[in-house]
Structure 1
Amino acid sequence: MDSVQSAKVLKELGHPERLRVFQVLSDVGLEGITVGELRDRLEIKGSTLSNYLSNLVAVDLVIQTREGKSIRCVANYDTFDAVFCYIRSNCGKMPATY
């Protein structure tokens, strides 16, 4: 993970609704959830969700696989963890207390 990729991931998570999509995917775990189920949980339009997912897939925060007519989405914890490892390693020493 480098600074450019980290910034892109953080930008996508900085949008409240895309963060909410990632939170739901994180909550369901490694089994993931179909786009239809995700749309129903979030109660948003399919086209809006498609846009959010496209952005999250582009920065490798979400992995999608086709299952027949459905698309299953899974949070990519490796990318999420890599961003925060990068920040901890490259953004100076964090004070023990604030």
Structure 2
Amino acid sequence: MGSDYIKIAKALASLGHEARLKVFRLLVRSGHEGLTVSELQHHLDMPASTLAHHLRTLVLSGLVVQDRKGREIYNRPDFDVMETMMAFLNEECCAGVSLASSTA
């Protein structure tokens, strides 16, 4: 379970920046096809170097996969990773937490 915590923490940390969250949400909306860097730039009005930096962080966290098709690089969300992260966050929702004993 420890490595799961590390993977989930990295994914969540990468989404902890406003620009990366915007990029990821746009990619999620694009579906399995993904978007090229130029398409992302067009939608987000973000300089290429800034976008490249944020995409690299998302790729390293496992949330985004890049595929080359000809001269274009398509960026798409890894929906399996996203679903694993969401399931992790939801798995103990409302399960209840109690104090074993209080020594106040």
Q: TM-score range by the shorter chain?
A: 0.7 to 0.9
Q: Which residue of 2 aligns with 1:94?
A: 94
Q: Deviations over 1:27-81 (max 9, x none)?
A: 1111111111111110000000000000000011111011122100111111111
- By how many angstroms is 1:88 displaced? 2.7
- Aligned-residue Cα RMSD (Å) equals 1.7
- Normalising by structure 1, report the TM-score: 0.87
For structure 2, the 5+ residue unaligned runs are 97-104
Q: Which residue of 1 aligns with 2:100?
A: none
Query: Which of 1 and 2 has greater Rg?
Result: 2
**RCO (CA 8 Å, sep 6+): is it higher in 1 or 2?**
1
- Normalising by structure 2, report the TM-score: 0.82
For structure 1, the 5+ residue unaligned runs are none
Q: Which residue of 2 aligns with 1:70?
A: 72
Identical amino acids, percent of aligned pairs: 35
Q: Which residue of 2 aligns with 1:31?
A: 33
- By how many angstroms is 1:87 displaced? 2.4
Counterpart Cα distance in 1 of 2:73 and 2:62? 16
Say if 2:14 is the partner of 1:9: no
